[in-house]
Structure 1
Amino acid sequence: MAQVLNQQAIKQRITFAFAGISIFVLMQNHFGEIAGVLTAVFWTVTSLAFESAGKKVGSLSVNLIRLVMAFFFIGLYSWIVRGFFFPGDANWFQWRWLAFSGLIGFVIGDLLLFQAFVVIGARISMLMMALAPPFAALIGWLLLGEVLAPMSWLGMAITMCGIVIVILKRETTEENGTVVKKIKSNYSVPGILLALGGAFGQAAGLVISKKGMGDYDAFSATQIRVLTGIVGFSILFFFMRRWPKVWEAVQHASAMKRITLGAFFGPFLGVSFSLLAVQHTQAGIAATLMAIVPVLIIGPAILLFNEKVNWKEILGAVITVGGVAFFFL
């Protein structure tokens, strides 16, 4: 009996050893892809936190406060890990391109996206944001000379189809006494253009970050981008005379808890891991993996907000996960 138990224990140890080796090899060979998926997870948390905070104190105030918090989060991390609170070891080339990417991604891209939320709503805005991966692939080809393999293009197409299925909703309407089921398309052209601008800004910021970062530390590179975002929003708030609103937001305890949570998982972990992703894989692949956020939100929406999920959303989630799997083949 003891011999049988020993044999079972040995088999379990061998199984665990092989599993550990497999995970290690997967992480080594697909580190960029794994970082992209983790980015989507982090952005799911931050989107829920910022949505709640934005309803309390306004999205513009949340935008600035989250960047200030993220700057100190990254600085503390870098000081512990690298001995630098401020990224003074970056060269002029890195500062120039990373600052430019921060201006494009954080200031212009996010500003357009948040305004699109107001004009056409979050659902259609996120649908347009699903165009960020092909934008990133196109910009990556033009700026970095990256060429995606056929399998990666297929994975991108499948993933985007899954996202579209989840986000789009077929509504029932009545026309001339007849019940008609169709997808609504009566959205304003300015709203669609704003969302497209947000998608393009996110994609361009990601690719430009890759060009400027090189092999530089991803967290410190994020800090440079965040600093540019802070400066950009500060100038914007000066002309818009929004500083009193920011002070009101800082005094709102409930909103500040959510902003702190969102800043930790968003500009700190999320954006830093997005740079790790583009550092270790192609920009188009990284952008596609990050675009699964609308699907990942389904679970928390059920658990936290008791939202009902239909078969179409489940199908879209399955298709999206299947598309992601193609990047690991």
Structure 2
Amino acid sequence: MSPEVIGQLAALLAASFWAVATLLYHRAGSHFSPLQMNLLKGVVATPLLLIVSLLFGNSLLSSSGGWLLALSGIIGITIGDSCHFSALRRLGPWHAMLLEYLAPPLAAFMAWIFLNDRLSVIEVTGALITLSGVLFVVTERAPDHTPSLSMSGVLFGCAAALCQATGLTMAFAVLMSSDMSAVDAALVRLAAGSLLLVIIVGLSRRGAYRTIARQLTAVNPMPLLGAILFGTFLAIWLQQVSIAHINPGLTQTLLSTAPLFLIPIALLKRQKLTRRSLLGALLSLSGIGVLFLL
């Protein structure tokens, strides 16, 4: 199997895992704050990645670029995932994930600005198509002509997409310039992001960790643990595998198919998706395809 195929399959599998995890995180969101969920996923998933790294016999000490990966973890995980969980609580799984379609064009524009990677007319067109698809959905109004989406949720979702694009681009730079493995890259990013969350949550209020422990004993923890296994441990690992084999633009394109995996899940659960949401999702996905695949 060629490296390109491995990278593409890893990204698609990560997207499907993230779609399932988003539904599970949404169920847990009524019991935990965004910061608490972000912290819990890091505390559980970091040791799992460490075990995998040790089993593969990798050595973090022999790899360079760790500081840049750590910074990408703080941006993408500490800030980005907290914003995503905030959007998830306010918007629900479908719209929160749909806003992640903004990440690929944002990554492209960032590469243009900071890496002098010029955009062609086709790439600019793809970015505009993606943005129009997202706007088509987030401006949808309820029958009584009141906004159907929380503006704060939309802002959190946009911030999450920006952080995701930034973190992924930084991780790609490290993987292309060092001998660090995909597992170790995921471990460094998650550990750095989680360590900062430990400090933030600990300083946020007295007895913060006792509160989290009480909440865990009062609810069924299985949805949250399932979300951590699929959405953090496996999905982040597969994401790093993908960007180690293909460029981050194509990885982000394939990762952005995650909302489409929610469609059959919603149909199986007999949930209704508006025609406007479906059209906006397909429009955004077509823009991402134009942006990176043509």
TM-score, normalised to structure 1's length?
A: 0.73
Does residue 1:96 correspond to 2:67, yes or no? yes
Query: Of 11, 14, 28, which aligns to 1:36?
Result: 11
The residue that corresponds to 1:79 in the other structure is 54
Please say if residues 128 and 196 of structure 1, whose CA atoms lie closer than 8 Å, have aligned partners that are also in contact. Answer: yes
The alignment of Structure 1 onto Structure 2 pairs a total of residues equal to 288
Residue pairs, 1:221-232, within 5 angstroms: 221-232=185-196
Counterpart of 1:254 in 2: which secondary structure?
coil
**CA offsets 1:213-242 (integer angstroms, 9 cap, x no match):** 334211111111111122111100111122
Q: Which secondary structure does the structure 2 equivalent of 1:271 belong to?
A: helix
Equivalent in the alignment of 1:6? none
Report the Cα offset of residue 163 of structure 1.
Answer: 5.8
Correspondence for 2:78 among 104, 107, 110: 107
Aligned residues: CA RMSD: 3.3
> Structure 1: which amino acid aligns with 2:250?
I
Specify the code of the residue in structure 1 equivalent to 2:268.
Answer: L
- What SS does the aligned partner of 1:57 have? coil
Alignment correspondent of 1:277: 242
**How far did residue 144 of structure 1 move?**
4.6
1:262 is the counterpart of 2:227 = yes
What is the SS of the residue equivalent to 2:142? strand
The percentage of counterpart residues that share the same residue type is: 27
* Mapped partners of 1:296, 1:153: distance in 2: 27
TM-aligned CA deviation for residue 105 of structure 1? 0.8
> Counterpart in 2 of 1:202?
164
- Is residue 36–residue 286 contact of structure 1 (8 Å, CA) maintained in 2? yes
Q: How does 1:81-230 map to 2 (within 5 A)?
A: 82-84=56-58, 87-91=59-63, 93-117=64-88, 121-122=91-92, 125-146=96-117, 169-173=140-144, 184=147, 188=151, 192-214=154-176, 215-230=179-194
The offset of 1:58, in angstroms, is 3.5
Which amino acid in the other structure matches residue 60 of structure 2? G
Query: Gapped runs of 5+ residues in structure 2?
Result: none
- The answer to whether the 8 A contact 1:166-1:295 is kept is no
Partner Cα distance (2:161, 2:281) in 1: 21
After TM superposition, give the deviation of residue 302 of structure 1 in Å. 2.4
- Code of the residue aligned with 1:227 in structure 2: it is A
Separation in structure 1 between the aligned mates of residue 226 and residue 272 of structure 2, nearest angstrom: 26
Counterparts in 2 of 1:162 and 1:280: CA distance versus 1, 3 Å: farther
Deviation at 1:184, TM superposition (A): 3.6
Q: Which runs of 5+ in 1 are unaligned?
A: 1-23, 174-181
Displacement, 1:292? 2.6
For residues 261 and 131 of structure 2, the distance between their equivalents in structure 1, rounded to whole angstroms, comes to 14
What is the deviation of 1:117? 4.6
- Structure 2 residue aligned with 1:295: 260
Residue 152 of structure 1 contacts residue 285 of structure 1 at CA under 8 Å; is this kept in 2? no
The structure having more radius of gyration, on CA atoms, is 1
SS at match of 2:180: coil
Deviates more, 1:126-135 or 1:258-267: 126-135
The one of 23, 26, 37 aligned to 1:51: 26
In 1, the alpha carbon distance for the partners of 2:6 and 2:293 equals 10
